[in-house]
């Protein structure tokens, strides 16, 4: 399925709230991604994502609509050669190959834009879909930490996947 990665715009707010207000997405993300997902949450996110340059968080756009997000967050201090990747995609677009391709495009952009050697992602142990997407995009499982994540009243394993330049 065709898509583009582009900067977030305030005009994306309605679709952002519509698609992000989904527990099936929120349950696999940090608590910074709220549920329910409100207009205020969306306004705050778009404001944050659209003011930093170079852009590090993009909308995943299908047919002119924002249907997800992908971002890379360069690290500091002794981790300065690393960046963490995060992403989500609206449920109607799952299983269409969009996220694997978006991750690959974001890797290319990240290595060109920042002086980094490694991009990592930390999916929950129960999030098999995210694990498969990362593996398809060329990431390697570097570690599993048992019951380090506390989400919705239960422990989750934390997996660390990475792609090295």
CA distances to 9, 28, 41, 54, 124 from 44, in Å: 12, 20, 5, 19, 25
Say what the pTM is.
0.95
Lookup result for tokens 């003011």: 51
Where residue 130 sits, what CATH number does that domain have?
3.40.630.30
pLDDT in tens, 72-97: 999 999 999 999 999 999 999 999 99
Provide the number of structural domains found in the chain.
Answer: 1
Q: Is residue 82 within 8 Å of residue 163, measured between CB atoms? A: no
Other C-beta atoms closer than 10 Å to the C-beta of 22 total 16
Spatial neighbors of 67 by CB under 8 A, at least 6 apart, are 3, 15, 19, 60, 61, 89, 90, 92, 93, 98
Q: Is residue 83 within 8 Å of residue 110, measured between CB atoms? A: yes
Question: Above 90 in pLDDT, residue 51?
Answer: no
- Residue 112 has what pLDDT? 98
Please give the residue range of the domain that contains residue 105: 4-164
Mean pLDDT of all residues in 56-71: 98
- Residue 41 has what pLDDT? 97
pLDDT in tens, 102-122: 999 999 999 999 999 999 999
């Amino acid at each position: 399925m065709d898509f583009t990665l582009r900067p977030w715009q305030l005009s994306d707010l309605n679709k952002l709230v519509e698609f992000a207000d989904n527990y099936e997405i929120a349950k696999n993300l940090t608590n910074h991604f709220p549920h329910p997902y409100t207009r205020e949450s969306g306004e705050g996110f778009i404001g944050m994502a659209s003011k930093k340059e170079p852009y590090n968080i993009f909308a995943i756009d299908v047919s002119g609509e924002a249907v997800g997000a992908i971002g890379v967050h360069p690290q500091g201090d002794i981790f300065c050669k690393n960046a963490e990747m995060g992403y989500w995609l609206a449920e109607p677009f799952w299983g269409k190959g969009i996220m694997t391709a978006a991750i690959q495009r974001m890797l290319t952009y990240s290595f060109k834009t920042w002086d980094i050697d490694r991009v990592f992602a930390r999916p929950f142990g129960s999030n098999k879909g995210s694990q498969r997407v990362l593996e398809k995009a060329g990431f390697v499982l570097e570690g599993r930490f048992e019951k380090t994540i506390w989400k919705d009243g239960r422990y989750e394993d934390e997996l660390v996947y990475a792609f090295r330049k």
